[in-house]
A = this chain, B = another copy of it.
Amino acid sequence: MTNILRCYLMRQFSGDNNNNYCCDMRGMLGFLILFLLSKKPMHGQEIAEEIARRKGEKPSPGTIYPALKNLRQMGFIISDEKEGKTIVYSLTDRGKNALRTSKRRFIQTFLGVFP
């Protein structure tokens, strides 16, 4: 595991606050993808389209696929056997745990923003 991945992991999903990355608000894309995949397994384009529906702008391939690659390398998502041209991703148990932790922090941070 590279240092970059470790930092990303710590920053986004660690419950341990003894690191310097907690205040970095970047990385909502990974979080959002995990959340979307927790609803139902999807392939890359499906995810991009769902994000487009929510944000009004579709993330480019250069955004979505590296993000998926990171999440896969971290063991948070797994790709089913490639069938044809689509690759369907779903959450691993580790991904579910990561999402749970991440969600708790997200909710706590933005408490009151939602009506």
Contacts and interface: CB of A to CB of B under 8 A. Distances in A.
Interface of A: 17, 22-23, 25-29, 32, 35, 39, 51, 54-60, 63, 103, 105-115
B35 A108 contact: no
A23 B35 CA distance: 17
A17 B57 contact: yes
Instruction: Quickly give the copy total for this chain.
Output: 2
Contact of A55 (B51, B54, B105): B105
Contact of A26 (B22, B26, B108): B26
A113 B28 CA distance: 12
A110 B56 contact: no
Given A22-B55, A22-B56, A32-B110, 17 more contacts: A17-B57, A22-B57, A23-B29, A23-B57, A23-B59, A23-B60, A25-B27, A25-B29, A32-B109, A35-B112, A39-B112, A54-B111, A55-B109, A56-B105, A106-B113, A107-B115, A110-B114
